[in-house]
Every structure is written in structure tokens, then in C-alpha cells.
Amino acid sequence: MAVKRIWHGWTTPENADRYQRLLHNEVFPGIEAKNISGYQGVQLLRRDLEGEVEFVTIMTFDSIQCVIAFQGEDYERCYVPSTAQKVLKRWDQTCNHYYVKEERNLRRI
């Protein structure tokens, strides 16, 4: 049963594009390079708010054991590299994990 690992971080409007590039060019490729068994991928969501920009990452793993392989026994602890910490204003210290119970994809042609 798949697991979604959800995390939130916020930055200033001035740093938002820089942070997004950092994720795209360094953080996500670094995670992929670890070749973690059961890691399916990541989604990045972005929302402009008044005075700040919120980012949400949703990582998908095959199981909670695969999350532990990625983050260790304290698997709820967030993973924020120091380069990202320099650009972020604040961030969740922990991640939430959800079991996928149903998923439907509708394609319209």
C-alpha cells in the first residue's frame, strides 16, 4: 500500500523562484540519486500568499518501510538540506504520512 509523505515550507516572494530552482536542480535529483527502494517520485505544489509563498512536497513510497529507508527510524523528521534552509523562511519540522486507500485518474480526450 503506497504512502504519501507530505511537507510544507514557506519562503519570501523574492526567494520563491530561487527555491523552486534549487528543488528542481539539486534537492530532487539528490533524492533520486540515492536509489531508495520503493521511492516512486515527488510532486511539488506552490501557492502565492500575501507576503510569502508556500511550497508543498508530496513524496510517494511503496510502504512506510521505504520511508524509513529514506529518512531513518525517526522517519517523521523532515528532510531539508542546508542549501534549502538558507532560502526558506520557515518550514514544518515533521512530515505527515498517509496511506493511499484509493486513487482515480480520469483522462479526458
Chain-centre distance for alpha carbon 1: 19
pLDDT higher than threshold 80 for residue 24: yes
Q: With CA atoms as reference, report the closest residue to 3 among 79, 75, 82.
A: 75
Q: Where are the domains of the chain?
A: 3-99
Average pLDDT over residues 30-50: 96
Looking at residue 27, its amino acid is V
Confidence label for 3 from pLDDT (cuts 50, 70 and 90): very high
15, 74, 88 from 11: Cα distances, Å: 6, 25, 5
* CATH 3.40.1500.10, domain 3-99, yes or no: no
Q: Are 80 and 88 contacting, i.e. CB atoms less than 8 angstroms apart?
A: yes
Q: With CA atoms as reference, report the closest residue to 24 among 43, 1, 2.
A: 43
Q: Are 88 and 10 contacting, i.e. CB atoms less than 8 angstroms apart?
A: yes
